[in-house]
Amino acid sequence: MLRCPTCKKPVPPRAQNEFFPFCSERCKLVDLGKWLDGDYRIPGRPEESEDGLPPLPPKQDGESS
């Protein structure tokens, strides 16, 4: 049986579970929140900014803006 990716509880089949592949609406929303917070990332090339320039590197500790 498939397990919920959020809480690891068993998940009923899709036909019996409107929140599939999650066990509940709560687990589905927890997962959505992780995507929105940036906890999950899909690796890829950094996008260029709207002006066509590459993004600036992250600031180092102690650097001013």
| Residue 26's pLDDT band (cuts 50, 70, 90) | very high
Domains along the chain with CATH numbers: 1-41 (3.30.50.10)
Q: Concatenated DSSP letters for 1-65? A: --B-TTT--B---GGG-TTTTSSSHHHHHHHHHHHHTTSS----PPPPPTTSPPPPPPPPTT---
Tell me: the pLDDT tens digits for 38-58?
898 888 776 655 677 777 788
Q: Pick from 35, 31, 33: which is nearest to 19 by CA? A: 31
pTM of the model: 0.61
| Residue 61's pLDDT band (cuts 50, 70, 90) | confident
